[in-house]
Amino acid sequence: MLLGITSVKAQCNLPYKDLKAFNNDTTAFFVHNFINRADCYKGKTLHDVVKDMQLPIKWGQSILKAGITNYSLGVKIGVNTNDESLRLINNNKTDNTIYIYWENEVYIDLQHEADIIYGKKPYTDYLDIYKNAKIKKLKALAPKEEKYLEQVKSAEKRNEFIRQQKLIEEVINR
């Protein structure tokens, strides 16, 4: 069990940076904190992610198990409204949506889910619905603009190097 914990910590080597560190460039902020540092959220909760987002949730939807079911595999949340997201996507840009997958399926009330999606309940209700759910994986789409792609590529190379170094250390320490 210790090996798993060490492995996750090794992959979470980049420090969190707040939005001001990126001169309020939300895409650069998302690349650094939610793409390059995605492994840092393993075992944490939705509350931890939302706290780090520093922006209000304007869009969200549970990721349901195949078919019509009351079990959620995760949740999608975004800082843009649905209309803003569609505009960005139509202009070949990324909408800064975060995809969060749970370690275990979570039972949800489908009527409550519908009320959130159709604006009858706030997206912040997800914080209560998923308050005990632990994150298995966090994903965000890489932006298509070249200046952000370079940031992603260099972080991937850096993370791969650190993973390889950690594997070498584990073999040596056996």
In a domain, 31, yes or no: no
- Partnered with residue 100 across adjacent β-strands are 75, 138
Q: Is residue 118 part of a domain?
A: yes
Does residue 16 contact residue 52 with C-beta atoms inside 8 Å?
yes
23 belongs to a structural domain: no
**Burial class of residue 41 in the structure, from the number of CB atoms within 10 Å of its CB (0-12 exposed, 13-18 middle, 19+ buried):** buried
User: How does pLDDT run across 45-73, given as a tens digit for each residue?
Assistant: 999 999 998 888 888 889 988 776 899 99
- The rounded average pLDDT for each run of 10 residues, N- to C-terminus, in the chain (174 residues) is 35 87 90 92 95 86 83 88 74 81 94 90 90 94 77 74 72 68
Domain that holds residue 97: 43-140
The tally of CA atoms less than 13 A away on the side-chain side of residue 65 is 10
Residue of 157, 135, 152 lying closest to 27 (CA atoms): 152
Domain count, the chain: 1
Q: What percent of the chain has pLDDT over 70?
A: 89
Residue 81 burial (CB count, 10 A): 12
The angle subtended at Cα 77 by Cα 9 and Cα 162, nearest 5°, is 20
Do you know the residue count of the chain? Answer: 174
pTM, entire model: 0.78
Instruction: Say if 9 falls within a structural domain.
Output: no
Largest pairwise CA distance in the chain: 57
